[in-house]
Amino acid sequence: MAQETPQGGSGARGPEGQQTLSNLLQESRRFAPPAELAAAANVKADAYDEAAADRLAFWERQAGRLQWERPWDTVLEWDAPFAKWFTGGTLNAAVNCVDRHVAAGRGDRVAYYWEGEPGDARVITYAELQDLVNQAANALTELGVAKGDRVAIYMPMIPETVVAMLACARIGAPHMVVFGGFSADALRGRIDDSDASVVITADGGYRRGAPSALKPNVDEAVKDRPGVRTVLVVRRTGQEVAWTEGRDVWWHDVVERQSTEHTAEAHDAEHPLYIMYTSGTTAKPKGILHTTGGYLTQVAWSHWAVFDLKPETDVYWTAADIGWVTGHSYIVYGPLANGATSVMYEGTPDTPHRGRWWELVAKYGVTILYCAPTAIRTFMKWGDEVPAQHDLSSLRLLGSVGEPINPEAYVWYRHHIGGDRTPVVDTWWQTETGAIMVSPLPGVTEGKPGAAMRPLPGISADVVDDQGAPVPNGGGGFIVVSEPWPSMLRGIWGDDQRYRDTYWSRFEGLYFPGDGAKRDEDGDIWLLGRVDDVMLVSGHNISTTEVESALVSHPKVAESAVVGATDPLTGQAIVAFVILRGEGADDGDALVRELRDHVGASLGPIAKPRQILVVPELPKTRSGKIMRRLLRDVAENRQLGDVTTLTDSTVMELIAAKLPGAK
């Protein structure tokens, strides 16, 4: 409900007098699942009841999708907040992702259609992937990598990245992938923290039409680090590289001469599979630990259920980087565990032209596309005519991940990319959760633009107030998970106390992901951004997401970021940064007034921004999340905080130039 005055309000008041999130946004559009998809859907409505009747039995059945060397004795050992799933069981993740499909006669199926940015392409079948992984596993063993050793992977988006991850999994050496866009400092910090002894990298990769070097960052990161014995280098771009004899070895020298036979050992279900560092803005990044059996069970099941995957016919594409957890779970482990055919693309969406993604969808007949709202909003900004020039009729399902999807972006995606045929699944999860937690099921759930809807079967998630009590329909607060789930993090690498403090101390007995959320009148869940980003305006907690969505619903706005800046009158005042649709759009005072009024009309006067700045770009992380912290610094005229995890560090200068008073 919209408020009439800044003092009025619909946000529920917690017992300590603190306001929980005001529930401002109303959305009435609904999209029923297409009849044909619903009739043939992998998962039907009864899955919710089935899982609710016996959650552990449900997960036990899903674990049965995998090939176990030895079956588990116990489904779950829960010594809160530490979980062990499928204890006593042993399996090999690489065998599950590759060998068993070949053994079942599906070796000729394509695992990846890989496309390099310059247009070079490779088609890799499951049988070929098996040979490559076996050779790499033999090479790692020859290089002295033993079970339990950590291996850092700092690579472009090339097939060898997947091969390296699976080779590590095969020999039981946890991998630690660092996004190729991160700096030498970020890489060094992660190598130090995980104590990795080997780094797998490449000379470089292609980005925005040019080779972009990686090896110099590795050299910088590991100098004075005798703990790093070996740097294994894939030749991708042919750039000149500096070479440290005795430490650096070429992939093509060491891997390609190995045997394609490798006998895999089965590892404990709880054997560490990988460490992935969360982006960590100011604090030291957290090494999130995932293990084998539970992780693989939930990524395989969720990939099959949420994307309604038909491995024989679908061509699946997660358009994201492998250095983000989305790449781990839904480019590598989920799709491969299910024997899917995936597309993998090296470069940026605008190289060599802004229709590159759509060209790839048409070329490979992509049926399922999974990407981030930031990409969708970028495509909105580039204009409807770009996708319209390509044949996108193969698409039958679309997914979104990484940030709340603004209702307008959802509707644009469904219409301009999905041709109004495709359901859109908005999937909420985190590095820490390992797999999708809250999402529609495409054959079951009515789509509601902007809402992640319901916890998946087998997942117990809720929205609670600041005392940890479930909110009624219409209420706002925090999302929590109340029961352990198979792919949950097993802790923070080397820091159990931080694990307890970060995730288990906010509410007794509940996992706290750090996101604001609300339940609408139908009981469906909306994610409202990180709690750190929530604004307190005249005593109302207002979510940045809702104000951003209101701005994006204006036809002239492509993207927006909203922050709360200290204000003598209201505590915090709303400051909005907007990117306009189309080039050369008018950004004068009249437009700013129009946008303020538009927000007022959509959400109520209290949500009207004090200030709106039209900017050319927004600061973003590797996964496209807007770094509002930096915009807050700008809005409050402060020195900028840490910018090392920005994808493009020049963005902040462009924004500063737009400030009133800038020359």
Q: Is 257 annotated as a binding residue?
A: no
Q: Is 210 annotated as a binding residue?
A: yes
Per-residue HEC secondary structure of 60-82 comes to HHHHCCCCCCECCCEEEEEECCE
Q: Round to whole Å and give the CA distance between 270 and 85.
A: 7
* Secondary structure of residue 39 in the 3-state scheme: helix
Q: Round to whole Å and give the CA distance between 540 and 549.
A: 18
Nearer to ligand 6R9, 342 or 538 (CB): 342
Nearer to ligand 6R9, 308 or 403 (CB): 403
Q: Which stretch binds ligand 6R9 (CB under 6 A): 68-76, 188-196, 422-430, 631-639?
A: 422-430
Q: Does 647 bind ligand 6R9 (CB under 6 A)?
A: no
Q: Does 402 bind ligand 6R9 (CB under 6 A)?
A: yes
Give the pair of three-digit tokens for residue 433.
């959760």
Residue 277: which residues within 8 A CB-CB, separation 6 or more? 176, 178, 190, 193, 285, 286, 287, 288
Nearer to ligand 6R9, 279 or 611 (CB): 279
Nearer to ligand 6R9, 167 or 372 (CB): 372
306-340: b or e for each residue (b if 16 or more CB lie within 10 Å)?
A: bbbbbeeebbbbbbbbbbbbbbbbbbbbbbbbbbb
Q: Which stretch binds ligand 6R9 (CB under 6 A): 24-32, 64-72, 396-404, 553-561?
A: 396-404
Q: Round to whole Å and give the CA distance between 192 and 177.
A: 13
Binding-site size, ligand 6R9 (CB under 6 A)? 21
* Secondary structure of residue 31 in the 3-state scheme: strand
Residues 91, 398, 401, 618: which binds ligand 6R9 (CB under 6 A)? 401
Q: Does 549 bind ligand 6R9 (CB under 6 A)?
A: no
Q: Which stretch binds ligand 6R9 (CB under 6 A): 20-28, 251-259, 425-433, 454-462?
A: 425-433
* Secondary structure of residue 170 in the 3-state scheme: helix
Q: Is 384 annotated as a binding residue?
A: no
Contact present, 367 and 335 (Cβ < 8 Å): no
Q: Which stretch binds ligand 6R9 (CB under 6 A): 298-306, 402-410, 486-494, 496-504?
A: 402-410
160-191: b or e for each residue (b if 16 or more CB lie within 10 Å)?
A: bbbbbbbbbbbbbbbbbbbbbbbbbebbbbbb
Q: Which stretch binds ligand 6R9 (CB under 6 A): 145-153, 228-236, 305-313, 507-515?
A: 507-515
Nearer to ligand 6R9, 554 or 628 (CB): 628
Q: Is 538 annotated as a binding residue?
A: yes
Q: Is the dihedral of CA 431, 434, 436, 438 positive or negative?
A: negative
Which residues sit opposite 177 in a β-bridge?
Answer: 153
Q: Is 194 annotated as a binding residue?
A: no
Q: Is 549 annotated as a binding residue?
A: no
Q: Does 404 bind ligand 6R9 (CB under 6 A)?
A: yes
Q: Round to whole Å and give the CA distance between 434 and 334.
A: 11
Q: Does 527 bind ligand 6R9 (CB under 6 A)?
A: yes
Q: Is 498 annotated as a binding residue?
A: no
Nearer to ligand 6R9, 234 or 401 (CB): 401
Least CB distance to ligand 6R9 at residue 516 (A):
9
Nearer to ligand 6R9, 72 or 412 (CB): 412
Residues 426, 520, 546, 548: which binds ligand 6R9 (CB under 6 A)? 426
Contact present, 321 and 327 (Cβ < 8 Å): yes
Q: Is the dihedral of CA 646, 651, 655, 656 positive or negative?
A: positive
Least CB distance to ligand 6R9 at residue 405 (A):
7
Q: What part of residues 271-290 is at the interface with ligand 6R9 (CB under 6 A)? A: 278
Q: Does 449 bind ligand 6R9 (CB under 6 A)?
A: no
Residues 231, 623, 629, 633: which binds ligand 6R9 (CB under 6 A)? 623
Closest CA to 579 of 620, 614, 619, 610: 614
Residues 326, 338, 367, 560: which binds ligand 6R9 (CB under 6 A)? 326
Q: Does 513 bind ligand 6R9 (CB under 6 A)?
A: yes
Least CB distance to ligand 6R9 at residue 545 (A):
8
Determine the straight-line distance between the first and last CA of the chain, rounded to whole angstroms: 42
Q: Round to whole Å and give the CA distance between 594 and 592.
A: 5
Q: What part of residues 2-21 is at the interface with ligand 6R9 (CB under 6 A)? A: none
Q: Round to whole Å and give the CA distance between 269 and 86.
A: 6
Q: Is 557 annotated as a binding residue?
A: yes
Nearer to ligand 6R9, 296 or 409 (CB): 409
Q: Is 404 annotated as a binding residue?
A: yes
Residues 325, 371, 492, 563: which binds ligand 6R9 (CB under 6 A)? 325
Q: Where are the beta strands (DSSP E) in 354-430?
A: 368-371, 397-400, 424-426
Nearer to ligand 6R9, 278 or 348 (CB): 278
Closest CA to 398 of 409, 390, 389: 409
Which amino acid is it at 463? Answer: V
Closest CA to 274 of 431, 82, 79, 96: 431
Q: Is 402 annotated as a binding residue?
A: yes
Least CB distance to ligand 6R9 at residue 449 (A):
12
Q: Does 117 bind ligand 6R9 (CB under 6 A)?
A: no
Contact present, 143 and 258 (Cβ < 8 Å): no
Nearer to ligand 6R9, 315 or 451 (CB): 451
Residues 131, 160, 403, 548: which binds ligand 6R9 (CB under 6 A)? 403
Residues 452, 471, 579, 580: which binds ligand 6R9 (CB under 6 A)? 452
Neighbours of 383 (CB within 10 A): 15
Contact present, 618 and 579 (Cβ < 8 Å): yes
Q: Is 105 annotated as a binding residue?
A: no
Measure Cα distances from 412 to 107, 188, 239, 375 in Å: 38, 41, 40, 12
Q: Which stretch binds ligand 6R9 (CB under 6 A): 28-36, 87-95, 202-210, 401-409?
A: 401-409
Least CB distance to ligand 6R9 at residue 140 (A):
27
Q: Round to whole Å and give the CA distance between 57 and 50.
A: 9
Q: Which residues are annotated as a binding site for Mg(2+)?
A: 552, 554, 557
Q: Which residues are annotated as a binding site?
A: 207-210, 326, 402-404, 426-431, 515, 530, 538, 552, 554, 557
Q: Which residues are annotated as a binding site for CoA?
A: 207-210, 326, 538
Where does this chain bind ligand 6R9 (CB under 6 A)?
278, 324-326, 401-404, 426-431, 452, 513-515, 527, 530, 623
